[in-house]
Structure formats: structure tokens, C-alpha cells
Chains A and B, each alone.
Chain A
Amino acid sequence: QSALTQPASVSGSPGQSITISCTGTSSDVGTYNLVSWYQQHPGKAPKLIIYGVIERPSGVSNRFSGSKSGNTASLTISGLQAEDEADYYCCSYAGSNTNVLFGGGTKVTVL
């Protein structure tokens, strides 16, 4: 099964809001409310920022929020800050045969 589809890059100015899309199919994102998002700074391990489509782990800024409509999940970063510049990956459960799919990643640039 193919990876989930994300835009290669998204940019915004400090203070703005940006949204990253993650498009899957009816076999993964569209069926299961089991989408997570990860932030990865260069040379660092990924960090969980959203799980279960909309849930935020303890300690993660409330500037990060998740949503889903049909086969597309989205991550919104509000009040963009310089420290948000990183790569972001979506992830979805895809059933017992495929199990887990990641998106190709989106590079966020703060202008």
C-alpha cells in the first residue's frame, strides 16, 4: 500500500496559521480515527504531537491541532513560531494487513 500523501513544503510568517494535509484512502485515514502526527527537527528523533486525530499528548503546545474529513487528515499550527520549523509526518492505522502507514513528510519553513 502506498504512503499517505502530504505536501512537500508549507511556509508561513511568525504568528500566522498554517495547515498541513494528509491524504489517504478509505482503507486507512477514511476508516480509522487513528491518525497521528510527528514533528522532527534535523538530527533528532520524531516527537508525537497529535494522536487519535485530535488528541494532544501532555506537554504539547495547544497551538497544534488535528482534524479529519473523509480521507484527509490535517494538522494546523497556529501562532507560528521559529521553533516550529521542522519536518512533520502524518501516520495512520491501515488495518491488520498493512498495519501502519506514514506520509512522505512536510517541511515547514518559518519565513
Chain B
Amino acid sequence: EVQLVESGGGLVQPGGSLRLSCAASGFNFSRYEMNWVRQAPGKGLEWVSYISGSNGTIYYADSVKGRFSISRDNAKNSLFLHMSSLRVDDTAVYHCAREVGVAAFDSWGQGTLVTVSS
């Protein structure tokens, strides 16, 4: 069974940093492209970042470019999102999602809540 479990969320002050992790199991992690998608409280989904299976290709949404960094450790079946210069509008549940086709995310974690507040 495919499982994605996020961790690392919490309360952080504006301007602070946080590192999210996503532990993957039940599939050959290195063969899949992975993404982070976030959802602000009571709002819709927003794509955040993409990374190819080999770490060779990375993309970011304009809203996080220059502040967030995606990475993965295929040996440990883990995906990461390092977030810095956090802003109040970065407050959201952050989901990791497996991509099985372009813009097709077939497995999602339950998410980890990031709250940016003073």
C-alpha cells in the first residue's frame, strides 16, 4: 500500500524557517516525481513545488520561488521542503503528492499544518 506521511509542521514567526519531511513507503520512491501542494485554512489547493525522481529537475510556484527549496533522499525514501522567510500567507496544510503523469497526483499524504504568526 502506498503511504505518504508528512511531518515537521508547527507554529513559526514571520521571517522564520521550517523544514517539512515526507516519508514514503509501499512503492519504488526513486522512480516517481514528487510534489508539494498546500491548502490554506478553508481555501483551495495550491501547487508549491515539483522534483523529478533523480533530483535533476525542480520547479517552484512564483509565490515561493527564492524562499522554499525542495529536495529528496531516495536512499531514505524521503521528500523535503525547506521553507525560509516565511510569511503569514504561507499558513496552510502542506501535502506531499506522488505524480503519475503530468499534473496527475494519485497519492497524497494527510498533510502537516504550518502556521506563520507572531
Measuring CB to CB, which residues of chain A are less than 8 angstroms from any residue of chain B? 3, 32, 34-36, 38, 44-48, 51-52, 57, 89, 91-93, 96, 98-105
B95 on the interface (CB 8 Å rule)?
A: yes
B26 on the interface (CB 8 Å rule)?
A: no
B62: shortest Cβ distance to chain A, in Å? 8
Q: Is the CB of B103 within 8 A of A100?
A: yes
Q: Is the CB of B44 within 8 A of A45?
A: no
Nearest-CB residue, chain A, relative to B47: A100
Please name all residues of chain B whose beta carbon is closer than 8 Å to the beta carbon of A3 when the two chains form the complex. 44
Q: How large is the interface on B (under 10, 10 to 19, 20 to 34, 35 or more residues)?
A: 20 to 34
Please name all residues of chain A whose beta carbon is closer than 8 Å to the beta carbon of B61 when the two chains form the complex. 99
Flag the segment in B14-22, B82-90, B104-112 that touches A: B104-112
Question: Given contacts A102-B44, A102-B47, A105-B45, is CB(A57)–CB(B106) below 8 Å?
Answer: yes
